[in-house]
Structure 1
Amino acid sequence: MAKQLLIYEQVMPISKQRHADLSVKTGTDYSFAKTINSVPLMAVEFPNAAAGYPIVFAGTETEIMPVVILGIDDDNLYITESGQWTDEYIPAFIRRYPFVFSTPNEEGKSSLCIDEEFSGCNQEGRGERLFDSQGEQTQYLQNILGFLQQYQAHFQRTRIFCQRLKEYNLLEHARARLTPPSGEQRSLSGFMRVNVERLKSLTDEQILTLVRTDELELIYLHLHSLRNLSVIAKRE
């Protein structure tokens, strides 16, 4: 469950001095994500993602986040050889590329950055410009900034959800045995899932908290999505 940030290669803060003539041409080619087997998922995405992906949890003792599993090895099984995404819903982590916020500095401020190695970056006017002829932000760049600000807000809400899962001791390490059409059994590990028996043993007060925060719904969407592990196996 690694390689989540390797789609970014040459990340630089966006500035009108450096990127005055830069245009960005995006499209339907997601080849940049072909070698990742999971990506982070925000809590707000659970209803859309649960239909086509297994939603699990991954991380360390100090930081746990939801992720969607995209493949067994270092291969995204939701992307065709020509770079087309095959599921109706594309995670926001993928849709925000080639843009990303930098890690907050000592003052808690982040900068909007771009991966300059993205194949759609150009100075020939293809796609959308970041700055107009007067050096002002274009509507396109403002829309991108707004999208990433929303992403950051959802990230904080998702962290609170995961902290509650840890506080209630609901997560357990898990392993899945998958049988692709080839018949060769494969194993997928390094992730966590909600333990249903622990969920049932919560106090009434804890359950009420999960209900009022809509987090109980998120838990059941996660559990329901695990059936998509068989979808992963069929895609292998």
Structure 2
Amino acid sequence: MATAPQPTGLPILYNDLVPLSSNEHADWKTQTLTGAPFLKNVHAIPVTIDEFVLVQRHYPIIFADAENPVPLALMGLNEGVNVFLDDAGVFNPPVYVPAYIRRYPFMLAQLGPNQGELSLCFDPTAGLVKPDGDGVVLFENGQPTDGTRAILQFCEQFETSAQRTGAFIKELREMDLLMDGEVTITPGENGAAPSVYRGFKMVNEEKLRDLRGDQLRKMNQNGMLPLIMAHLFSLDLMRDIYARQAALGLLPAQAAA
């Protein structure tokens, strides 16, 4: 679950990156979309800690089973399944859309050797930035428009939030609070075999309860404790996603048996 790496080495969704240039893209615009069809086969999206309170109302929050266990919003329990989009790629019913999705196809990337020097780039394979786009005009008289500056600001805010998220993950790991996750879901039908989902990380509640009082007080003061609670409470939503997948006939063979 939520462990498949990108074959390109780029973040989830991104297949290529090119820097936005007033020379190369002087007359280009963004393309307006009514939904997010590029998410149709994506079952997990990175989220930041600044979004946890909103995310946990709609999606389970787990941590990737990887060397860098970033937090993820689950949109399906299996690779290739997203139960939040209709056939047109529209969120149905409407739910909170994580910032990672709203940022796409743009992102800040380091193109040169200097650390910290980031350029505004976009994924040209997405078809969302092009000469005949009907959305935001990107340049006027060779200068970035207000729309482009707003895109840049949003990407900068996302990077700042991602750094805070990295610090949060580092604290969890240093306190040894992450463990291999496992959720067992028993269908309502009599005699139906339970489905067990693994392949992700979650906070170890037993270790959390055993923390010293001063450790818990520090976590409450620095805001970690509410974030952990949001993560733990959100895991119950995995059963809702299971029910959606079952209704759509999208359970894996062993779960549907």
TM-score using structure 2 length: 0.84
Question: Does the 8 Å contact 1:77/1:232 carry over to 2?
Answer: yes
Q: Aligned partner of 2:49: which letter?
A: A
Question: Does the 8 Å contact 1:48/1:89 carry over to 2?
Answer: yes
Residue 206 (structure 1) aligned with residue 215 (structure 2): yes
The partner residue of 1:139 within 146, 170, 178 is: 146
Displacement of 1:122 in angstroms is 2.7
Partner of 2:169: 162
Q: How does 1:105-144 map to 2 (within 5 A)?
A: 105-108=112-115, 109-132=117-140, 134-144=141-151
Residues 142-151 or 196-205, more deviating: 196-205
Residue 228 (structure 1) aligned with residue 237 (structure 2): yes
Partner of 1:64: 69
- CA distance in structure 2 between the aligned counterparts of 1:20 and 1:66, rounded to whole angstroms: 37
Identity across matched positions, percent: 32
Q: Aligned partner of 2:83: which letter?
A: L
- CA distance in structure 2 between the aligned counterparts of 1:106 and 1:90, rounded to whole angstroms: 34
Report the secondary structure of 1:148's partner residue: helix
Gaps of 5+ in 2: 246-257
The partner residue of 2:178 within 171, 176, 181 is: 171
Residue 88 (structure 1) aligned with residue 98 (structure 2): no
Deviations 1:193-236 (A, max 9, x none): 11111011112221122111111000101111011001111221
Q: Aligned partner of 1:228: which letter?
A: L
TM-score using structure 1 length: 0.91
The partner residue of 1:194 within 196, 203, 223 is: 203
Displacement of 1:170 in angstroms is 0.9
- CA distance in structure 2 between the aligned counterparts of 1:157 and 1:135, rounded to whole angstroms: 34
The partner residue of 2:59 within 39, 53, 56 is: 53
Question: Does the 8 Å contact 2:69/2:201 carry over to 1?
Answer: no
Q: 1:79 to 1:20 in 2, by over 3 A?
A: same
Gaps of 5+ in 1: none
